Structure 1
Amino acid sequence: MIRTFIAVELDPVFIEKIRDIQEKFEDFDLKFVKPEIVHITLKFLGDVEESSIPSLASALDSLLCEPFEAKIEGIGVFPKPANPKVLWIGASGAFGALHDEVEKVLKPFNFEKDDREFTAHATLARVKFLKKSQKGAFLDALRDLKDITLGSMRVNKVLLKKSTLTPEGPLYETLHTAYLD
């Protein structure tokens, strides 16, 4: 079994900007995602049989979604500012339609459908622990960056990724690239 997910990678031009954002939060107890691997997850598949990868790849090749322009902008937290667990950068564009199309082509595989409404975002860090005395400063940093814009990028492919968890953080490997047209 291999741990897998479907994602859109961010344009490498955003790596330094992501690093700059993360530096604004380095005084807090966060586990940062390496800027080089920050991505937008369209669907987490979990553990799948290695033998099913060709079928998953073929399903992704049948996606009916045209390439689109996306803006990487805005910063926020899940689930809510009063209790932050995940720090993220937002993404706008046709991600909702792309997510729905991914759900549609994967329906025959009986993966669990996402319960929550899809919100296009890229995780920058997970909040390990936030002292009460730090919450105000954390929310101030969040507020200062809420309107940040990293820039635009063209979304023209979706990646089937393998995730290997290590003590140093996850290692990702692209198993298949499905091009949008």
Structure 2
Amino acid sequence: MIRTFIAIDLPEEMKDELSKITDRLDLKGIKSVERDNFHITLKFLGEMREDEIEKIVKKLYEIDFDPFNLKVCGSGVFPSPKRARIVWIGVKGDLPRLVEIIEEKMAEIGFEREKRFHSHITVARVKRSDGEIKERINKFLREYKNINIGEIKIDNFRLKKSTLTKKGPVYETIQEFTFK
């Protein structure tokens, strides 16, 4: 079984900018995402067999979408500031439309539709929650609430494989899908 998801990989310059930001969160109990693992998840698919992956690839090749720009800006946490588990940087642009098309294609082969999509880049995971960590997160949110990191051109998305290791997840591209 292969753990899979659909995502947009970020340009190297954007990963550099995000790394500078995550350095500000460095604290025991907060695990920053590794620089090479920054991405925008469009849909998590879960554990798949090889034959299922072939069906997924075939469906994803049916997607016809134009290149577009994304603005990387703002910050927040999931599920809430009081119970933060994920720290993220926001993304604005045509992603919801692309995700809707992906959801439609995946539903055609039996995947359940996601209830809600919130475009973001996960930059850290909160492992424990004490006063010092809550204060660090609140400070981060105040400082980066209105951050504008820049724009990136999106002309593809990828089916990715996630291998969980002791050092954290390792992501590999199974297939790239380029916009026309």
CA 1:134/1:175 → structure 2, altered by over 3 Å: closer, same or farther?
Answer: closer
Return the alpha-carbon distance in structure 2 between the equivalents of residues 22 and 43 of structure 1. Answer: 24
Structure 2 matches for 1:79-94, cutoff 5 A? 79-94=79-94
The CA deviation at 1:162 is 0.6
The CA deviation at 1:136 is 2.8
Structure 2-normalised TM-score?
A: 0.95
What secondary structure is seen at the aligned counterpart in 1 of 2:108? Answer: helix
Q: Which amino acid aligns with 2:33?
A: V
Q: Which amino acid aligns with 2:80?
A: K
Structure 2 matches for 1:54-93, cutoff 5 A? 54-93=54-93
The CA deviation at 1:55 is 2.0
Q: Which amino acid aligns with 1:142?
A: L
Q: Which amino acid aligns with 1:160?
A: L
Structure 1 unaligned runs (5+)? none
Structure 2 matches for 1:158-169, cutoff 5 A? 158-169=157-168
Q: Deviations over 1:44-99 (max 9, x none)?
A: 00011112222211211111321111111111100111111100111111000000
What secondary structure is seen at the aligned counterpart in 2 of 1:57? Answer: helix
What secondary structure is seen at the aligned counterpart in 2 of 1:73? Answer: strand
Q: Deviations over 1:23-50 (max 9, x none)?
A: 1111351122111111000000001111
Structure 2 matches for 1:27-176, cutoff 5 A? 27-115=27-115, 117-176=116-175
Return the alpha-carbon distance in structure 1 between the equivalents of residues 165 and 132 of structure 2. Answer: 32
CA 1:119/1:113 → structure 2, altered by over 3 Å: closer, same or farther?
Answer: same
What secondary structure is seen at the aligned counterpart in 2 of 1:89? Answer: strand
Structure 1-normalised TM-score?
A: 0.94
Q: Which residue of 1 aligns with 2:178?
A: 179
Q: For the Cα contact (< 8 Å) 1:56–1:106, is it kept in 2?
A: yes
CA 1:170/1:137 → structure 2, altered by over 3 Å: closer, same or farther?
Answer: closer
Q: Deviations over 1:99-129 (max 9, x none)?
A: 00001111122112212x2111111111001
Length, aligned pairs only: 180
Q: For the Cα contact (< 8 Å) 1:64–1:101, is it kept in 2?
A: no
Give percent identity, aligned residues only. Answer: 36
Return the alpha-carbon distance in structure 1 between the equivalents of residues 119 and 136 of structure 2. Answer: 26
What secondary structure is seen at the aligned counterpart in 2 of 1:100? Answer: helix
The CA deviation at 1:15 is 1.8
Q: For the Cα contact (< 8 Å) 2:27–2:133, is it kept in 1?
A: no
The CA deviation at 1:138 is 2.4
Q: For the Cα contact (< 8 Å) 2:40–2:121, is it kept in 1?
A: yes
